[in-house]
């Protein structure tokens, strides 16, 4: 029983992401990130925004610390074909 609890603790906060860098501008990267477990894809406008998306996913979509300036996994701006600015 103790081992099962330890395994669950290790698995919490893990995630797989696929990152595609589309542009490098102003010493920063822009592109798209896909959250494999969540089945969602979003564009990011900076490395900070990409890291915040990853943090949001690892916190199971908990968006207490996010602001409206940055994209989140909960927004309806999924990637369909073109850039969504």
With beta carbons less than 8 A apart as the criterion, state whether 36 and 18 touch.
yes
Structural domain containing residue 31: 2-58
With beta carbons less than 8 A apart as the criterion, state whether 43 and 83 touch.
yes
Whole-model pTM: value is 0.59
Give dist(CA 67, CA 9) in Å, integer: 28
- Is 16 inside a domain boundary? yes
- Is 25 inside a domain boundary? yes
Could you tell me which residues are beta bridge partners of residue 31? 21, 44
Number of domains in the chain: 1
Block means of pLDDT (10 residues each) for the chain, 85 residues, are 48 82 92 94 94 88 52 65 50
- Is 10 inside a domain boundary? yes
């Amino acid at each position: 029983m103790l081992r099962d609890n330890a395994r669950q603790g290790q698995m919490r906060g893990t995630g797989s992401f696929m990152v595609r860098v589309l542009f490098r501008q102003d010493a920063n990267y822009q592109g798209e990130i896909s959250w494999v477990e969540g089945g969602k894809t979003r564009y990011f406008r900076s490395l900070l925004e990409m890291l915040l998306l990853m943090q949001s996913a690892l916190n199971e979509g908990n968006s207490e610390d996010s602001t409206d300036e940055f994209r989140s996994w909960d927004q309806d701006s999924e990637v369909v074909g073109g850039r969504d600015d």
